[in-house]
Structures are given as structure tokens and as C-alpha cells.
Structure 1
Amino acid sequence: MKKLFLLIGAPGSGKTTDAQIIAQNHSDRIVHYSTGDLLRSEITSGSERGKLIDSFTSKGNLVPLEIVVETIVTAINNTPKQIILIDGYPRSIQQMEALDKVLKSQSDIELLNVIEVVVSEDIARDRVLGRARGADDDTEIFDNRMKVYLEPLESIETFYSHKGILKKINGERSIEEIVNEIESFIQSKI
């Protein structure tokens, strides 16, 4: 049975860095994916699904939900590792519901927890604008990304809270403290 953990958090919350470090620290049994990486990897593979994904992304269009979920589930099923961390998913109520529906039909994948790395909007803004890695690191784009993140957040939190699988982690500490807490939490669940 594959054990799935989802990491969500605002832009600049550190969720991707946290997940990468945890997967590196436990590379024998934990794998980390981000949805964007999975889609890009599928395109690079040249598969039929990759060509379909490329037909959307190359025009700047969103990849249909069913294809995204199918890509995630295929990656989970194909990894030899038993513990999977996926960061940045779900980002909408529709993504959450689609994944939930698919997981109900999968007897060999169990969603153990959704871990939310919580940071204030001010901290997130300072981190994103301070790193200035690319074109998306400006105030207007950050504000839009934050809005997109916050709009469905309460519904996502409520959905996973009702299932008893939402864990909130304070993301306003050192990376080491955050990673240690997430690692300990994952250990307690497996």
C-alpha cells in the first residue's frame, strides 16, 4: 500500500524545499513530486499523454483536471517507493474533489495526511519578493498567486479536517525546525 502525503501552502511557504529535503533525507523510501514536474516529465517522455498535455501547455492553457489527476496517480503507482510527498496539490476545490474520487477507486494508495505549511501573507510576500528568482517574483503576480491560493483554502481545510487528516505546521521557523516536525509527523503516521 502506497502512503500519500500532500503538502500545501502559500507561495513562499517553503513547502517545495521542505519536501525536497525530506525526500533527500529518506531517499530509500520517500519520493517527492510536484504537479508541474510530473506534467513536464510526461511531456518529455513523448508518451501519448505527454503529447496531449503539451497541446494544452504549449498554448498557455490549463491541463484538464482528469489528465492532471491521472498523471499524479500513474506516477504514484509507478514509483517503487512506498511513501510519496506531493507538494502544491490540490490548488482548487475541483482538484481536491477529483483526486478524492480517483483515490476512492484505488485500493493500493492511501492518502494519509494533508500537511499545510502555514505562513502569514506578509512573510510569504517577503520571501517570494526577496528571492527574485524569475518573472513571477513581483508584487502584482505575487498578489494574484496569493489570491488564487487563498480563495479555495477554507473549503480545502474544511474538507480534509472533516476526514481527520489535516495537519497544520508553523512555516515561520527555520527550515530545519519545519523539516524535523514534518519528518516526525510522517514517521508517526507510517
Structure 2
Amino acid sequence: MKKLFLIIGAPGSGKTTDAQNIASKNNNIIVHYSTGDLLREEVARETPLGKTIDKYTSKGNLVPLDIVVDTIVVALKNAPKDIVLIDGYPRSIAQMEALDSVLKKQNEVKLVSVIEVVVSEKTACERVLGRARGSDDNSEVFKNRMNVYLEPLQAIQDFYNNIGILKKIDGERSIEEITTEMETFIKNNI
């Protein structure tokens, strides 16, 4: 059975970097997927699906639920390792409920934990604007992305906390401190 860890956090929280570092250090047992990277790959390939995705992401809006869930399910089924880290998901109550529904109908993947990398809005903004990865990294789009992230956050936290799988990690520290805590937590739960 594959064990799934979802890593959530504000834009710029470092969730992707943290997950990448842990997966590369443990590449014999852990694979990492970034929801954002999976979607950006489609956009870069200029597929019809990518063009649809771009209409949403270029404005900082969420990609439709069916596209995101399909992307994640395919990634999980094709994962070459038994420990899977996915960052950037869920980003809405509907995404959370859709994944929960899919996972309840199967016994190949177990959601072990949802790890939230917690940072202040100020830190998140400074990091996003400092990295300027693409046209979606500007202050107007950041504010929209932050609002999109914050709006469902309490409900997502409550849902996963109520089933006892929410783990919060302080994302204001160094990358080394954050990844060490996260890696230790993951290894203790596999």
C-alpha cells in the first residue's frame, strides 16, 4: 500500500522546496510531486489541457477540480515508490472532499498525514516576489493567490485535525530545520 503525505502551505511557504529536499535525500523510498509543477508541465507542453489550465493559473485562480483530481490520481497510480509526497493540495474544500472520496473507494493508497508549513503572509509575499519564477509572481497575483489559499484554510485544518492527521510545522525557520522536522515526522509515520 502506498502511503501519501500531503503538504500544504501558503504560496511561498517553502512546501515544494521542503518536499523536494526530503524526496531527493530519500529517493530510494520517497517520490515527490508538486501539484503546481504537474499543472505547469501541461501548460509548458502547450497541450489542450495545458491551455485550459493556463486560463486559470495566469490569473492566480484555482484549476477546475476534475482536472486537478485526475492529475493527482494518475500521479499516485504511476508513483514508482511507496511513499508519496504531494505538495500544494488540497487548496479548496471541494478538492479536499474529492480526494477524500476517491481515497475511501480504494485500498491502494492511504493518506497518512497532511503537513501544513505555516508562515506569515509577510514572509510568504517576500519569498514569492523574491523568487519571481514566472508571470504569476507579482504582488497583485500574490494577493489573489493568498486569498484563495486562506479562504478555505480553517475548514481544511478542521477536517484533517478532526481525523487526527494534521501536522503543523513552523515555516519561518531555515530550510534545514524545517526539512529535518518534516523528514523525521514522515519517517516516524511510515
User: TM-score scaled by structure 2?
Assistant: 0.89
- The equivalent residue for 1:105 is 105
Q: Identify if the C-alpha distance between structure 1 residues 144 and 67 changes in structure 2 by more than 3 Å, giving closer, same or farther.
A: closer
Deviations 1:40-67 (A, max 9, x none): 5568899xxx75x246236x15653223
Residue 145 of structure 2 aligns with which residue?
Answer: 145
- The CA distance in 2 between the partners of 1:84 and 1:155, in whole Å, is 24
Do the aligned residues in 1 keep the contact of 2:114 with 2:166 (CA within 8 Å)? yes
Partner of 1:174: 174
Question: Distance in 1 between the 2:141 and 2:51 partners?
Answer: 25
Cα offset for 1:106? Answer: 1.5
Deviation readout 1:136-175 (Å, 9 max, x if unpaired): 3322221111111100000000000011000000000000
User: Which secondary structure state, in structure 2, belongs to the residue aligned with residue 86 of structure 1?
Assistant: strand
- State the match for 2:59 in structure 1: none
Q: Per-residue deviation at 1:130?
A: 2.4
Gap regions ≥5 residues in structure 2: 57-61
Displacement of 1:39 after TM fit? Answer: 3.7
Task: Name the structure 2 match of 1:56.
Answer: 52
Aligned residue type for 1:57? I
Aligned pair 1:156/2:156, yes or no? yes
Identity across aligned pairs (percent)? 65
Amino acid across the alignment from 1:25: K
**TM-score normalised over the length of structure 1:** 0.89
- Of the structure 1 ranges 60-69 and 117-126, higher mean CA displacement relative to structure 2 is found in 60-69
RMSD value, Cα:
2.1
Whether 1:66 and 2:66 are equivalent positions in the alignment is: yes
**Deviation >4 Å, runs of 4+:** 40-46
The count of residues paired between Structure 1 and Structure 2 equals: 185
The residue matched to 2:134 in structure 1 has which SS?
coil
Counterparts of 1:120 and 1:114 in 2: how far apart (Å)? 19
Please give the residue correspondences for 1:178-189 in structure 2 after superposition, counting only pairs within 5 Å. Answer: 178-189=178-189
Q: Alignment partner of 2:136: what SS?
A: coil
The 3-state SS of whatever aligns with 2:36 is helix
Contact 2:16-2:87 within 8 A present in 1 as well: yes
Match of 2:135 in 1: 135
Structure 1, unpaired ranges of 5+: none
Query: Secondary structure in 2 aligned to 1:8?
Result: strand
SS of match in other structure, 1:102: helix
Q: For 1:45 and 1:3, how far apart are their aligned partners in 2?
A: 30
